[in-house]
Amino acid sequence: MERFHGRVIRSVGDYHTVWIEPGAEVLCRARGRLKQRGSLVTGDLVTVALTGPDQGVIEEVAPRSTFLFRPPVANVDTAVVVMSLARPEPSLDLADRILAVASRAGLDGLVVLTKADLVDSQEASRISTPYEAAGYPVFVTSAPAGQGIEALREALSSRVSILAGPSGVGKSSLLNALVPGAALRTGEVSRKTDRGRHTTRHVSLLRLGERGWIADSPGFSNLSFGPMDPRELPGLFPDLQRFAGGCRFSGCLHQREPGCAVRQAVEEGSLDEGRYRRYLRILQEVSEAFERRY
Ligand SMILES: Nc1nc2c(ncn2[C@@H]2O[C@H](COP(=O)(O)OP(=O)(O)O)[C@@H](O)[C@H]2O)c(=O)[nH]1
Ligand SMILES: [Mg+2]
Ligand SMILES: [Zn+2]
């Protein structure tokens, strides 16, 4: 029997749609222990034995490089944090939290600032500069003007990404601009034909460019850190981390410790104060949750 490597791009009940390069979709069931719930999710890299022209059986699944619970999706490389520059105002608290949670899950972070047509360029760079300084790629876009879309598509063209951000910021508009025809393939249309019955939303991967994939279900919602040692948090803020080597104490949490190089960097203006404040807020929360864990 012929065997192929592929990627699960949709998973509904016992049926998994596997994409095999350069462009065949094979409808598969799983073999043996892979039938157990959760053994296969969208994004999994699998080995398929073909049982028909477009049918097969999944025989193996590769270890996952990353995993997100909600939606369940494996091997995502990049969390694309989407915030609008206006209407609604950007929630930087949420942006920083998403970036940190994503980093903890092993994903790269990338920032998209939408609705550039609603603000002047000074306001756009006021928001973007701290993120650029932290090392995140930042894209400023406008869906109606088509601004920034091509560059973003290029940046995402060889990875697996997922959009995250609050509702109303333009995630669906962005997805439609990035993947022509995306709206036709996502839940927003299929729900109409559903005759009022409630269906579970399944996450699918949509082709982005020639080698990339993007999850059609905007947002991963497991935004709590779960039980986490607060000492892990500084490492999830690359801009703070850059100064941490200069702190007097190696386990410095950059709060009120003497000789803290991070706090000094904020005072000198070489580290964004907003990012630092939001870090402290999240640290507080994580610490309280950690103390309550038993
Ligand atoms: N002015 C402006 N409006 C936008 C832009 N992108 C999206 N919108 C509008 O913002 C609203 C929410 O967009 P949508 O894509 O549904 O956001 P989602 O909830 O994040 O999926 C809609 O009315 C869009 O037309 C943009 O770049 N500029
Ligand atoms: Mg939407
Ligand atoms: Zn410090």
CATH of the domain at 21: 2.40.50.140
Q: Are residues 127 and 172 in the same domain?
A: yes
Q: Quote the ligand 3 centre to 253 CA distance (angstroms).
A: 6
Mean pLDDT, the chain, integer: 91
Domain span at residue 254? Answer: 230-291
177 close to ligand 1 (CB < 6 Angstrom): no
Strands (DSSP E) contained in 71-176 are 73-74, 78-84, 108-114, 138-140, 160-164
Q: Are residues 202 and 72 in the same domain?
A: yes
Q: Pick out the chain residues at pLDDT < 50.
A: 187-200
Task: Evaluate the omega torsion of the peptide bond into residue 71 and state whether it is cis, within 30 degrees of 0.
Answer: yes
Q: Give residues whose Cβ lies within 5 Å of ion ligand 3.
A: 247, 252, 254, 260, 262
Q: Are residues 164 and 234 in the same domain?
A: no
Q: Give residues whose Cβ lies within 5 Å of ion ligand 2.
A: 171-172
Condensed to tens digits (0 to 9), the pLDDT of residues 135-167 reads 999 999 999 899 999 999 999 999 999 999 999
Q: Which H or E run contains 48?
A: strand 45-52
Total domains, the chain: 3
Q: Quote the ligand 1 centre to 225 CA distance (angstroms).
A: 28
> Pocket of ligand 1, candidates 120, 173, 179, 189: which has the most ligand atoms within 8 Å of its Cβ, to mutate?
173
Rg (CA), the chain: 21
Condensed to tens digits (0 to 9), the pLDDT of residues 271-283 reads 999 999 999 999 9
The tokens describing 57, both together, are 């059986």
Helix axes 273-291, 261-268, angle to 10 degrees: 150
The tokens describing 233, both together, are 């948090």
Q: Are residues 19 and 81 in the same domain?
A: no
On whether the CB atoms of residues 61 and 45 are closer than 8 A, the answer is: yes
Q: Looking at the whole model, is its pTM more than 0.85?
A: yes
Collapse the DSSP code of 201 into the 3-class scheme (helix H, G, I; strand E, B; otherwise coil) and give the result.
coil
Range list of H helices, 52-136? 92-104, 121-133
